[in-house]
Amino acid sequence: MITRGRGPTVDGVHRIAVTRLGWFFGTLAWTRRAATCDVVHCQSGEALPLLIALRCWPGRRARILATFHVDNRRMTAAEAPYTLAGERFGREPSLTRRMASALHRGVDAAGLALADAVNAVARATAIDLLGAERGAAARVIHNGVAPPQTTDAVAEPVALFYAGLATHRKRVLTLPFVLAHVRNRHPEARLRIAGFDREAAPELHALFQRLGVAEAVEYLGPQPAAALPAHYRAARVALVPSAYEGLPYAILEALREGTPVVATPVGGHPEILRNGENGFLVPVDDPEAMAERCCEILSDASLAERLGQAARQTVAREFSLAGQIDAYLDCYRSLAERPD
């Protein structure tokens, strides 16, 4: 495995770069080794120099698999201005952002063209990238999560939980409106946020203050992955208000712990959540609808229990890490055995 970035030392994992420029030249430098592999598995088109070099390599043995997590065009669209409760938020993407998005789309298009095989993490992503007809027939390997771990770790109970980044695409500014609506019916309800500190999201905190619910918000800051399960278990509802996603682990990890999820029907969300069965789907940028579903769960213990049980079953049946690994191994075998 060749990857970019910093992290703990792991056998068999080579961290070859930190910067984008370093990654560009680093992947290129690995072409000779990669050409002798059975399968080279790339994420989207980010290893474009390697893909191009492999395609041109004489006597190439390696087959190239490219996995796509999102459609960058929809990612950019989700950052555009939007309206919540009659108020306008966000700004038009800058020229730099639009140029970067166009570059990403070009790189992904090249990755689609250069790969010997392509898969997406959600059917919706495949359709976004390839169109309705090709996307419907494309290989989809959903993200998977490991089984819940036996642990003594606990967290203080909380009504609402959000884990993620503080970006417009994630629609974190929905959270103050949701919390304010929920507290009208459940004055004791509190919201816990993992993923960023209060200082990293001044606009969000100012909105909590303006709506009079800032004292009911707890910021955990960035959290290691191992710490999140306890917080999911402690929450009665997990919120995912995003305007666009691929197949987010935030939903899978919440469901694995038996925590009901209220999310938007974007990207791969409907491929995980069955409305009213293992969670709820509500329209994007509709905090009242999200709050209403939260209140239903908070007011009905039997509903919460039913949703939680179905959530665990969904993950165990359809989104297990073992299932994801088996699907990729089958894909690798079929590629490796493909005749020249």
Strand, helix or coil at 158? strand
Number of folded domains that form the chain: 2
Nearest to 27 by CA among 58, 1, 56: 1
Residue 153 counted as domain residue: no
CATH of the domain at 275: 3.40.50.2000
The answer, yes or no, to whether residue 147 has pLDDT greater than 80, is yes
Residue 226 counted as domain residue: yes
Residue 282 counted as domain residue: yes
Task: Please report which confidence band the pLDDT of residue 190 belongs to, taking 50, 70 and 90 as the band edges.
Answer: very high
Given a contact cutoff of 8 angstroms between Cβ atoms, the answer to whether 143 and 247 are in contact is: yes
Nearest to 221 by CA among 209, 231, 234: 231
- Model pTM score: 0.93
187, 114: one domain:
no
User: For strand 235-240 and strand 158-163, is the pairing parallel, antiparallel, or unpaired?
Assistant: parallel
pLDDT at 210: 98
164, 308: one domain:
yes
Residue 135 counted as domain residue: yes
pLDDT at 25: 86
Residue 150 counted as domain residue: no
Residue 57 counted as domain residue: yes
286, 176: one domain:
yes
Q: Give residue-wise pLDDT tens across range 7-18.
A: 778 888 888 888
131, 185: one domain:
no
State the Cα–Cα distance between residues 204 and 210, nearest whole angstrom: 10
185, 102: one domain:
no
115, 167: one domain:
no
- Count CA within 13 A, CB hemisphere, residue 5: 4
pLDDT at 340: 67
Per-chain mean pLDDT for the chain: 93
Question: Hunting for tokens 């629609």 — which residue is that?
Answer: 171
The answer, yes or no, to whether residue 176 has pLDDT greater than 80, is yes
237, 294: one domain:
yes
Q: Give residue-wise pLDDT tens across range 27-76.
A: 888 888 899 999 999 988 778 888 899 988 888 889 999 999 999 999 98
CATH of the domain at 21: 3.40.50
Q: What average pLDDT does this structure show over 169-198?
A: 98
Q: Give residue-wise pLDDT tens across range 310-332.
A: 999 999 999 999 999 999 999 99
Residue 192 counted as domain residue: yes
Give the angle subtended at the CA of 7 by the CAs of 332 and 219, to the nearest 5°: 110
254, 107: one domain:
no
251, 281: one domain:
yes
Q: What average pLDDT does this structure show over 239-254?
A: 98
269, 190: one domain:
yes
- Please give the residue that has the higher pLDDT: either 297 or 104: 297
Range of the domain at 303: 158-319
Tokens of 302: 């039997």
The answer, yes or no, to whether residue 297 has pLDDT greater than 80, is yes
22, 66: one domain:
yes
310, 331: one domain:
no
